[in-house]
Structure 1
Amino acid sequence: MTENIKMKGFFTCSVLAATLFFAVASPSRSEDLAEQDLAEQYKLTAERIRNNYDSNYVRLATYAQNHYAVRMYRLTGETYYAQQSGAEVYQITDRLNMYADNLSNSKWREQQAQKMIDRLSNTRRGKLRKKTLQGTGDKRFALYLIYQMAKLNEYGLKHPAHEQFVNYLKHADLHDFMMSADFIHAYAAQVANYVYWLKYIGVVDWTGDLRAAFENAYPDDKDDQLSKNQFNNKLYGLTHIVLADSNYYQQMVSKEKHAWILDYFEKRQQRIEKKSKEDIQAEIGLCYLLAGLNDHPTLAAMQREINDAVDPEKNMVLSISGSDSLSYGEHRNVLAYALLNWPKKLYQGPFLLEDKKMKASLPLVYQQ
């Protein structure tokens, strides 16, 4: 969406606010502050992150703009963020138009799947994913279709071929593949996403199978045998079960339902602090907040870690390599903002059809 006068004014105010916050919120390590001051310190740190990203919004890559705007709307309910979201709808719609035209062609689906597999990186994780996906027919295509449909669902939209896609996915034989230990080892966070997305887009509900699948792939009594990367992958998967159940910060979750995950984080807290990345630590803290456990000691530990990780000059959590890329760091930093300035209320949406201005900017197929 194009930059407008409102956006410029918003950014100008953000920069001025940032200057005031910097004067008040000089960097301090959390353990040096009195307990009653922590909440205010965390809020100031969060605002430094928000002001940094708001004032640099137009510099973000499109994918980062979309993710940031949607998450910030759900955390703040501010119309501004809703109006900046949805720029990706045209691209998704064009892609799904092509998928609808070719969906009945099994050879075409398998060719698309193989192209997606071939584009995976040659990193350790990329190689593991290639090995897991090779020889699985069109399943990689099916997974990407789920993701694209879920992206539209995020904005309250359905592609005209939605029911055609649903029917295909119901017969795509994905359950045992996604619940396998091999797939979870390669895609721990994503399997939670896929399973909940299938529920949200109206295909099937396999959410009740996730616990057994994860315990089979990563039994707790084998944690000592996990490498740092494997341990982090397990943590990612567990956090995403909770985050996905919240429909990504749109609703609270049951602490009883997810007690097995929250208890696990509590028992592994020291290892988490020493061995996990900041984005994982932030997600772990958010799991407690989504479950309404605002005074839990593990949450407090994660908040301290993230508050202290915010660079005092860059006003963001840097990558583990020290990168200050705003786009690549957007996911990590919107998590940090949420953890340090959790709202009293979460907002559902943004549903683009409910606002005349946003609806008018959508492809015509959604305006019927």
Structure 2
Amino acid sequence: MLLRKKYIALSIGASLFLLSTLPNWSEATQVQAQQQEKSYQYFADIIRKTYESQLYTLPAFEEGHYALRMYRQTSNDKYHAAIWSDLARVASRLNRYAEEVHTPEQIYMNSQSRLADYLDKTDERSKLRYTVTKHNPEYLYLGIGLLGSMARADEYGLKHKQDAKLREIIRRYDFSHYVTNEGMIKAWAAQLANQVYWLKQLGEQDVVQPFIEAFRNTYPDNLDENLTNQQYGNKLYGMTHIIFADSQYYQHAVSETEHQWIFDYFRSNIDTILLKAKEDIIAEVGISFLLAGLNNDPVVEKTRLHIKEAINRDQGMIPSTSGDFDLSHGEHRNVLAIMLLDWQQVNSIPTIEKQPKVFASLPYGLVSK
């Protein structure tokens, strides 16, 4: 009986000891998570230092691409000048289209010139784009040129002074013809995802759902094994860009349930994605979860670990798959890496109303909406 009482007392004591250690264990776990977070931030800072020390040596598009994303993440005024450069680039393109490339004949000539750029390229993507787009050459002017510039100005709270003229050009064409075409999706999945949301943003056509349905029919999950690496990447790009475009590029959070099929696919196939995809796609997959507020999803951790390991510390950036360290060509994958590793928040900025200093001197052709 005495032994039994001692056993019970020891058991109770052991249980109390274990219970007393739970808060410490929880605190230790939190500390470990915070240290891991700091570690990721450290690697993000390596890339950030590389790019921000040479930001103004980049071409206008890459300079603006980097600065706009960093500004929407951090609200730091130091990016204002680079954003203004992007604004000037947008104004220049819209000015040219409004004055020099707006008749059907001018659009045809412009499109043929752009199409010819693909003739000498031998990679799978370029050959596919040439083969498909030669039947719809005006797409290069409309989707790749005009629409993106109008949408960017609109995000800033601006429009071109000949906005009505530019919208009339858009209305000549039925975008459902492009966005539901299987060949076009195989050639331009990410771009089409952007464009269907831009059209909706501008109050023009709403072809988001027809595009998503056509996309899913083009890339059924049970046929993934038949895809080349390039086409598998195109599928993933299309999916991440549906998420990104819905967020208006890091301006708003997205709903997981509205894109459940995408998040379910990423969760089920993350190990294959890490094995087969390029670093920029892998970063985009992780950021998709961050945009949905799913910061603690295992997919985020897996993508962060992969991206951290891909950084070349000597060069301060992630190289291309061929080992190239060109700053301009690598800007896309590296700014995505910074965002994934050191995610801050979404922000609907800059706009002429909220940040008038950025827009104090508007480039010729742009006016407030």
- Specify the TM-score bucket, using the shorter chain as the normaliser: 0.7 to 0.9
Task: Give yes or no for contact 2:107–2:138 (8 Å, CA) kept in 1.
Answer: yes
Change (3 A) 1:243 1:40: same
Whole-angstrom CA distance in 2 between matches of 1:342 and 1:366: 32
- Partner in structure 1 of residue 27 of structure 2: none
Deviation, 1:153, is: 2.5
Change (3 A) 1:91 1:239: closer
Deviation, 1:357, is: 3.9
Aligned runs of 1:126-205 on 2, under 5 Å?
A: 126-136=126-136, 138-143=138-143, 144-205=145-206
Residue aligned with 1:323, SS: coil
Deviation, 1:315, is: 1.9
Change (3 A) 1:119 1:165: same
Q: CA RMSD in A?
A: 2.0
Deviation, 1:360, is: 3.3
Whole-angstrom CA distance in 1 between matches of 2:283 and 2:350: 23
Change (3 A) 1:94 1:61: closer
Residue aligned with 1:360, SS: coil
Whole-angstrom CA distance in 2 between matches of 1:137 and 1:275: 31
Task: Give yes or no for contact 1:353–1:359 (8 Å, CA) kept in 2.
Answer: no
Aligned runs of 1:241-320 on 2, under 5 Å?
A: 241-320=242-321
Task: Give yes or no for contact 1:156–1:349 (8 Å, CA) kept in 2.
Answer: no
Task: Give yes or no for contact 2:176–2:210 (8 Å, CA) kept in 1.
Answer: no
Match of 2:99 among 94, 98, 101: 101
- Partner in structure 2 of residue 13 of structure 1: none
Whole-angstrom CA distance in 2 between matches of 1:185 and 1:367: 37
Residue aligned with 2:186, SS: helix
Q: Give unpaired runs (5+ residues) of structure 2.
A: 1-30
Whole-angstrom CA distance in 2 between matches of 1:118 and 1:92: 23
Aligned runs of 1:76-95 on 2, under 5 Å?
A: 76-95=74-93
Deviation, 1:262, is: 0.7
Deviation, 1:166, is: 1.8
Whole-angstrom CA distance in 1 between matches of 2:89 and 2:48: 27
Change (3 A) 1:367 1:254: closer
Of 274-283 and 60-69, deviating more is: 60-69
- Partner in structure 2 of residue 232 of structure 1: 233
Deviation, 1:358, is: 3.0
2:54 aligned with 1:51, yes or no?
no
Change (3 A) 1:350 1:82: farther
Of 55-64 and 324-333, deviating more is: 55-64
Q: Give the structure-1-normalised TM-score.
A: 0.85
Change (3 A) 1:45 1:224: same
Deviation, 1:141, is: 2.0
Deviation, 1:353, is: 6.0
Deviation, 1:34, is: 5.5
Change (3 A) 1:304 1:137: closer
Q: Give the structure-2-normalised TM-score.
A: 0.85
* Percent of paired sites with the same residue: 37
Task: Give yes or no for contact 1:139–1:172 (8 Å, CA) kept in 2.
Answer: no
Amino acid at match of 1:49: I
- Partner in structure 2 of residue 61 of structure 1: 59
- Partner in structure 1 of residue 215 of structure 2: 214
Whole-angstrom CA distance in 1 between matches of 2:96 and 2:366: 17
- Partner in structure 2 of residue 30 of structure 1: none
Corresponding pairs, count? 335
Whole-angstrom CA distance in 2 between matches of 1:206 and 1:132: 20
Whole-angstrom CA distance in 2 between matches of 1:66 and 1:51: 17
Task: Give yes or no for contact 2:84–2:359 (8 Å, CA) kept in 1.
Answer: no
Task: Give yes or no for contact 1:82–1:350 (8 Å, CA) kept in 2.
Answer: no
Amino acid at match of 2:132: T
Q: Which has the larger radius of gyration?
A: 2
Q: Give unpaired runs (5+ residues) of structure 1.
A: 1-32
CA offset digits 1:173-197 (Å, max 9, x no partner): 2212222110010011111011111
Residue aligned with 1:158, SS: strand
Of 92-101 and 323-332, deviating more is: 92-101
Deviation, 1:104, is: 5.7
Of 112-121 and 175-184, deviating more is: 112-121
Deviation, 1:110, is: 1.2
Residue aligned with 2:160, SS: coil
